[in-house]
Structure 1
Amino acid sequence: MLMEPVTFSESGGVRYLHFGTELIQGAMRLRDPDEIYLEYNQQMMAWLLFLETKPGMKLAQLGLGTGALTKFTHRHCPAVKTTVIELNPAVIVSARSMFYTPEDDRRLNTLQVDAKKFVEDSQYQHYFDAVQVDLYDAICDGPSASSLDFYRGCHNILKDTGVLTVNLFSRHKSFNLNLQNICDAFENRVLLFPESHDCNVVAIVFKGPPLNVEWKDISRRAKLIMDKTGLPTQTWASGLNRENARQETSLSI
């Protein structure tokens, strides 16, 4: 299989990852390499609003990019064991050499494998507490894995109670297709963040018992995450409240 070329650029103290085009696949602020620089990447950590980290918790990250999510979890969630899925070996090398992602250790395992095949692997069924999906190719016209079977696979690798976050591209025909397939795979248990400035929309998807929680409690949890990690979560609760219908008084999904 022909892999896309990995290229880089720098501007204003920020290093960018590209797949042979000008389109941005990830970014890192050079003076703060462990910061999650892009807003949509920050929102991919929103599973922390609903799951308490604890020893033995398992996270799957489908798509490595610059390793921003990997670095954040490795630094701020020491109880979590992360499995990274990345097909392109050059992305794995560049994440470590150019974006300072840590080498594999007892809390981090990187697999060079196709994410579509990974979610079908029986050894990972009902295995992960949280799954993050950020799969894009050089064209960036929508996720490179978008079928109903893929999202059913994501559902299957989650434990009976789990949370999925997915990076979607809002201004493309792929958005409605992906959203419909996610809804079908997860029985419509989907929340959307407001569109970020770069047209990304992050979906938060739930598996397990019905969730009923007051927005004030979500705001409190978001503040706790911000105080502990520095992640700018202050608008998460209000943004989710505004963006999603029939969630005005409390979150019920």
Structure 2
Amino acid sequence: MSSKPAARELEPATISEHAGVRYLHLGTPWVQGAMRIRKPEALELEYVQRMMVWMLFRPAAELTSGHAVQLGLGAGAITRFCHQVLKMRTTAVELNPTVIDACRLWFRLPAESARFTLLEMDAAAFAGDPERAGSADVLCVDLYDHEAASPVLDSVAFYRDCRRLLADGGVMTVDLFGRDASFDVSVGRIVAAFGRDAVRTLSPTREGNQVVVAMKQVTAPDRALLAERAQNIETRFKLPARKWLRMIQLLPEPEPGAAGPSGATPPPA
């Protein structure tokens, strides 16, 4: 069976503008991405800024090196930032060709080069390819359909593939809806893939987006080191990293006797 849905199943990208900001939609009023026209490299949406919280969990010397992968292109904000501001080798994976076209025409997507690759393909197929194991230092997952109701890919198997895709010491961030009943289920699946000690959450935005962080084979930095890194990120990259630090939450311990998430097993070594 092909992993790529027929083109008619994918809603076409549409564009709107207001007060100097250009927005991407998929046939509905839901905002799928945004770019301030005069500052295309800035991260306009708050939840997209929070997707960069992985920067706190990487050594300062590694913020401008390594390989950053985005599953779900949106309006290309994270792709532009990783490629043009952080100067990382960057790969973006997007299934919808109209999103790719919109980003090229209207959202200042960089041209493909030795340091930037854009793939029109299913994110599940990309993450599940064993030849890509260990190839991503940073993985940002933002996979919602046109109704923005729940993640398109949200299984234990998918998150295990994401973990395998990460290099040792790599970090994944995932955009979820914190006010949705599916949030705890999704977090449980991430825990099943990465292990409880490797997962953190941030407080939800006013719109309800809640970012989850998962680390591969890394000991979380202590609070003092995180604070030092946050100051460095704010100084160098003008992102509100000290605010992120106040939002990071450990997962609550499971109640005694409570069942773990469906299919939960310890992650592989």
Q: What's the TM-score, normalizing by structure 1?
A: 0.91
Counting aligned pairs with the same residue, the percent is 38
SS at match of 1:85: strand
Are 2:55 and 1:48 aligned? yes
Q: How much does 1:209 deviate? A: 3.6
State how far apart, in whole Å, the 2-side matches of 1:156 and 1:239 are.
27
> Where do residues 1-20 of structure 1 align in structure 2 (5 Å cutoff)?
1=6, 2=8, 3-20=10-27
Select 1:69's aligned residue among 78, 93, 102.
Answer: 78
Query: What secondary structure does 2:128 align onto?
Result: coil
Tell me which residue corresponds to 2:173. Answer: 165
The separation in 2 between residues aligned to 1:31 and 1:25, in whole angstroms, is 19
Q: Distance in 2 between matches of 1:156 and 1:44?
A: 20
Which residue does 1:38 correspond to in 2?
45
What displacement does 1:246 show? Answer: 7.4
Compared CA separation, residues 17 and 171, structure 1 to 2 (3 A): same
Q: CA deviation at 1:104?
A: 1.0
Any idea what SS the aligned residue of 2:212 has?
A: strand
Partner of 2:267: none
1:68/1:54 CA distance change after superposition, 3 Å: closer
The one-letter amino acid paired with 2:71 is: L
Q: Give the 3 Å change call, closer, same or farther, for CA 54–172 of structure 1 in structure 2.
A: closer
Deviation at 1:56, TM superposition (A): 6.0
Kept in 2: contact 1:83–1:109 (CA 8 A)? yes
Quote the RMSD (CA, aligned, Å). 1.7
Report whether the alignment pairs 1:60 with 2:69: yes
1:244 counterpart = 2:250: yes
Task: Provide Cα deviations, 1:174-225, integer angstroms capped at 9, x if missing partner.
Answer: 21221111010001121111100110000110110433x3323212211211
Q: Secondary structure at 2:184's aligned position in 1?
A: helix
* 1:224 maps to amino acid: N
Which amino acid in 1 is paired with 2:94?
Answer: E
- Kept in 1: contact 2:231–2:241 (CA 8 A): yes
Number of matched pairs: 243
CA contact (8 A) 1:166 1:203 kept: yes
The residue that corresponds to 2:199 in the other structure is: 190
Q: Deviations over 1:9-36 (max 9, x none)?
A: 1112211110000111011112211110
Of 170-179 and 66-75, the range deviating more from structure 2: 170-179
Whether the aligned pair in 2 keeps the contact of 1:141 and 1:174 (CA below 8 Å) is no
TM-score (structure 2 length as normaliser): 0.86
One-letter code aligned to 1:107: R
Which runs of 5 or more structure 2 residues have no equivalent in the other structure? Answer: 1-5, 254-269
What is the DSSP-based 3-state SS (H/G/I as helix, E as strand, rest coil) of the residue aligned with 2:206? coil
Q: Distance in 1 between matches of 2:227 and 2:64?
A: 25
Distance change >3 Å, CA 127–CA 246, structure 1 → 2 = same
Separation in 2 of the partners of 1:21 and 1:95?
17
The residue type equivalent to 2:50 in the other structure is Q
